[in-house]
Chains A and B, each alone.
Chain A
């Protein structure tokens, strides 16, 4: 049940970000200065943490989505759904730890 709640919440968060992300990328059609100025606003520690949270949401939604597919299409999927949830959470940690080390050292590394 909580994986279902989490899937819906992360889904909506990702969708809202996607709407904004297409709009900010569309500024390349306005001028190089407009795009670079707005993207420059993303390059601070607070937005860096926001990106980390966004990627955390995407990775959970991706892996739990694969679990939903396995539950729907694999004969033994419903039986093993709880074990697969633990697999999702472990895989999430395994992906997020190297991502956070790399991304946060870029964000807080200074340039």
Chain B
């Protein structure tokens, strides 16, 4: 088995074993990031398991999902808050996870900076977009006729 062991990240880079990529930081950011992964992870299990159960297991499962299904859910503040919390926690948890992987495997400073810049821009766009969609959503858009939820006024 010993030949089958994957080396720890950053243990076999060109500079190893004297390798110090950064000066020691006095910030406690990494400790908060570590704690956040554990706390958000527990909350996300509840949020995502609930999300999957309601959307895939109940009723007709995935066949029931259309515009009317989403509109029906987001007409309730309960599901708006649920989905908003899920969006923010999942994106921050996922972004921090990918940040850790980039830090582990991208050896060159420039590569690391580039990948993390792309990651942060993508995460920022998705979080802002998702938040706007949840709060500016109109369940009965003017001019639409198909797949509307049943509570929309008949045109």
Contacts and interface: CB of A to CB of B under 8 A. Distances in A.
A69 interface: yes
Interface of A is mostly: helix
Interface of B is mostly: helix
A60 B45 CA distance: 11
B144 A32 contact: yes
A22 interface: yes
Interface in B40-63: 41-42, 44-45, 48-49, 52, 56-57, 60-63
Given A19-B122, A22-B87, 16 more contacts: A11-B94, A12-B101, A15-B97, A25-B70, A26-B133, A33-B67, A33-B147, A42-B62, A58-B52, A62-B41, A66-B45, A102-B61, A103-B57, A103-B61, A106-B61, A111-B60
Interface of A: 1, 5, 8, 11-12, 14-15, 18-19, 22-23, 25-26, 28-29, 31-33, 35-36, 39, 42-43, 48, 51, 55, 58, 62, 65-66, 68-69, 72-73, 99, 102-103, 106-107, 111
Interface of B: 5-6, 38, 41-42, 44-45, 48-49, 52, 56-57, 60-63, 65-68, 70-71, 87, 90-91, 94-95, 97-98, 101, 122, 126, 129-130, 132-133, 136-137, 141, 144, 146-148
